[in-house]
């Protein structure tokens, strides 16, 4: 079980902590405000009221033993910097910090942040990618060049074998899995009881209604594939 520390329980921090816990992680959620801690205490492993700039307090809750720390303090740059330095000194190798500007990003990286995220930009980019491709249900940027998408097979491809899509040879894409359960099964939420995942499906697998393909590849190739018109897929089906 992976262990997480979430510091700062605003809307982003609270949502993140709850999601990590719901997905099976061990989550320590901390905030200096008692009402925030009280609100989330039943939806994480541990919820503690403390000052993230207090090294002794952080160590007392096991901050030095987690796999990943996420500093979601937000507008208080000084607190984010000090907390990042403390976690670095405690020996953490994976420290993710929220920032609002490129200047803040550079400062946080200099003091030890392994990744700096811009919430509004990342959500805007993800939402844009999701809606730009036909039937793209979810999108995750894996790196600056590669991504993963969930793409619902269009009506034109029902009863077509995977081999006919030529995902690897023609599109340079990797089919990671096929997710059964239809559009109501949105989001990358592996292992849910209502879902059935078929990993590395055989080339002769025949697509069924509401099948969702989990595809990995270069972002430009994924966009090229998912933005095809229904008529193009219909041509393939008619061959």
Find out whether 118 and 180 touch, Cβ atoms under 8 Å.
Answer: no
Examine the domain organization and report whether 140 and 183 are in the same domain. Answer: yes
* Domains: count for the chain: 2
Examine the domain organization and report whether 156 and 127 are in the same domain. Answer: yes
Q: What is the average pLDDT across 74-102?
A: 91
Examine the domain organization and report whether 75 and 164 are in the same domain. Answer: no
Of the candidates 85, 117, 149, which is a domain's last residue? 117
pLDDT at residue 8 is higher than 90: yes
Q: What is the pLDDT of residue 31?
A: 95
pTM: 0.57
- Which of the four pLDDT bands, split at 50, 70 and 90, describes residue 196? confident
What are the start-end ranges of the E strands in the chain? Answer: 3-7, 26-31, 46-49, 68-71, 95-98, 115-117, 136-141, 146-152, 174-180, 196-199, 212-218
Of the candidates 71, 102, 117, which is a domain's last residue? 117
Give the residue numbers spanning the domain of 42. 3-117
Find out whether 80 and 70 touch, Cβ atoms under 8 Å.
Answer: no
CATH of the domain at 15: 3.40.50.720
pLDDT tens track for 40-66:
999 999 999 999 999 999 999 999 999
Of the candidates 64, 96, 117, which is a domain's last residue? 117
Examine the domain organization and report whether 127 and 78 are in the same domain. Answer: no
Examine the domain organization and report whether 47 and 75 are in the same domain. Answer: yes
- Which of the four pLDDT bands, split at 50, 70 and 90, describes residue 125? low
Examine the domain organization and report whether 110 and 126 are in the same domain. Answer: no
Q: 238 versus 145: which is more confidently predicted?
A: 145
- Which of the four pLDDT bands, split at 50, 70 and 90, describes residue 120? low
Examine the domain organization and report whether 97 and 164 are in the same domain. Answer: no
pLDDT at residue 171 is higher than 70: yes
Examine the domain organization and report whether 11 and 113 are in the same domain. Answer: yes
């Amino acid at each position: 079980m992976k262990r997480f520390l979430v510091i700062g329980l605003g809307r982003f921090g609270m949502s993140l902590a709850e999601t990590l816990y719901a997905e099976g992680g061990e989550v320590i959620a901390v905030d200096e405000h008692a009402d925030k801690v009280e609100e989330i205490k039943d939806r994480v492993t541990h919820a503690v009221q403390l000052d993230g700039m207090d090294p002794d307090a952080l160590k007392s809750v096991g901050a030095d033993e987690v796999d990943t720390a996420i500093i979601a303090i937000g507008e208080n740059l000084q607190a984010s910097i000090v907390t990042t330095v403390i976690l670095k000194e405690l020996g953490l190798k994976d420290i993710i910090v929220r920032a609002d500007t490129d200047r803040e990003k550079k400062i946080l990286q200099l003091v030890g942040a392994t990744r700096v995220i811009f919430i509004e930009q990342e959500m805007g980019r993800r939402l844009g990618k999701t809606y730009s491709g036909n039937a793209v249900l979810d999108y995750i940027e894996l790196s600056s060049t590669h991504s993963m998408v969930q793409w619902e097979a269009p009506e034109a491809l029902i009863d077509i074998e995977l081999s006919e899509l030529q995902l690897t040879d023609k599109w340079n894409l990797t089919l990671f899995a096929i997710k059964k359960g239809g559009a109501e099964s949105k989001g990358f939420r592996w292992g849910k009881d209502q879902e059935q995942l078929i990993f590395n499906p055989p080339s002769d697998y025949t697509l069924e209604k509401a099948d969702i393909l989990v595809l990995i590849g270069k972002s430009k190739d994924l966009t090229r594939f998912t933005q095809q018109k229904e008529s193009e897929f219909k041509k393939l089906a008619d061959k």
